[in-house]
């Protein structure tokens, strides 16, 4: 069985974990603890702190006894108290009541160049940040008041050609960033696609019946399907 134990040592100013040999006498332990806790040997009052609040701590009262005599075990706590703190520095390291506090007026603080306030002013952050401009204001995705399934007519540069069809898609697309596109299924095969562009499908129609245009290039209304009339000689 190992004679080495790991214990916690607490005092008014310190707390640490230590490895101790159970063959140490209490007197030898006090000599070691003076360097750790700052409490003189003659003032030290050592006890094994009980884990059970209903049971008292076990004092190491006999300086000639070894630690094993008191059944000291790993993970237990040795509490070191100062029996005469008036003759030592115990407690003074943690007593800040006598420490003079550094105070600085708001005016003096504002004049400093190495403060957090000066840093924020230089970088214009926090309350010193400029107000957001119109360009920084989030813009909602553009929309168009064009219902799906509506009949429409797309403007044409060819005189006499009426490009009529049905609205199948309204929204933004991956092939063009920003703005709204309208997908139209033409009545005739005068389009450019089948409702898909660059592998992305937006609606389905027959090949060469689909097209995408900007909303300002079409009119929505009661546009009937034009019937193509052939002469008898053209049948």
Q: What is the pLDDT of residue 29?
A: 95
How many CA atoms are closer than 13 Å to the CA of 123, on its beta-carbon side? 7
* Distance in angstroms (rounded) separating the CA atoms of residues 25 and 107: 61
Q: What is the pLDDT of residue 235?
A: 37
Asked whether the whole model's pTM tops 0.95, one would answer no
* pLDDT one-digit tens code per residue, 116-165: 788 888 888 777 888 876 555 555 555 678 999 999 999 988 887 889 99
Under 8 Å CB-to-CB from 7, ≥6 apart: which residues? 17, 18, 20, 72, 74, 75, 76, 77, 78
Q: What is the pLDDT of residue 92?
A: 58
Q: What is the block-wise mean pLDDT of the chain (235 residues), using blocks of 10 residues?
A: 88 92 94 92 93 86 94 93 80 62 79 82 80 61 82 88 94 89 95 95 96 94 75 46
The CATH number that domain 4-82 falls under is 3.10.20.90
User: Is the separation of the CB atoms in 65 and 22 below 8 Å?
Assistant: no
Query: Which residue has tokens 């957001």?
Result: 132
Say if domain 150-220 classifies as CATH 2.30.30.190.
yes
Q: What is the pLDDT of residue 130?
A: 83
Q: What is the pLDDT of residue 144?
A: 78
The strand pair at 58-59 and 44-49 is best described as antiparallel
Q: What is the pLDDT of residue 44?
A: 93
Q: What is the pLDDT of residue 98?
A: 62
What is the domain partition of the chain in residue ranges? 4-82, 150-220
């Amino acid at each position: 069985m190992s004679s080495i134990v790991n214990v916690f040592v607490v005092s008014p100013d310190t707390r640490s974990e230590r490895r101790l040999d159970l063959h140490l006498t209490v007197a030898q332990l006090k000599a070691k603890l003076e360097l750790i806790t700052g409490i003189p040997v003659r003032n030290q009052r050592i006890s094994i702190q009980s884990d059970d609040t209903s049971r008292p701590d076990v004092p190491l009262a006999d300086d000639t006894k070894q630690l094993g005599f008191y059944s000291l075990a790993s993970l237990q706590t040795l509490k070191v108290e100062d029996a005469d703190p008036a003759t030592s520095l115990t407690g003074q390291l943690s007593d800040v009541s006598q420490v003079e506090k550094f105070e600085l007026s708001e005016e003096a603080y504002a004049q400093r160049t190495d403060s957090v306030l000066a840093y924020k002013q230089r970088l214009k952050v926090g309350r010193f940040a400029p107000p957001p401009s119109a360009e920084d204001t989030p813009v909602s995705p553009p929309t168009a008041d064009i219902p799906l399934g509506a009949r429409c007519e797309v403007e044409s540069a060819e005189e006499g050609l009426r490009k009529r069809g049905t609205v199948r898609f309204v929204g933004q697309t991956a092939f063009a960033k920003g703005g709204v596109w309208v997908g139209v299924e033409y009545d005739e095969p005068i389009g450019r696609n089948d409702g898909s562009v660059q592998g992305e499908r937006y609606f389905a129609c027959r090949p060469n019946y689909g097209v995408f245009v900007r909303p300002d290039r079409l009119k929505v209304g009661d546009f009937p399907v034009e019937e193509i009339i052939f002469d008898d000689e053209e049948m």
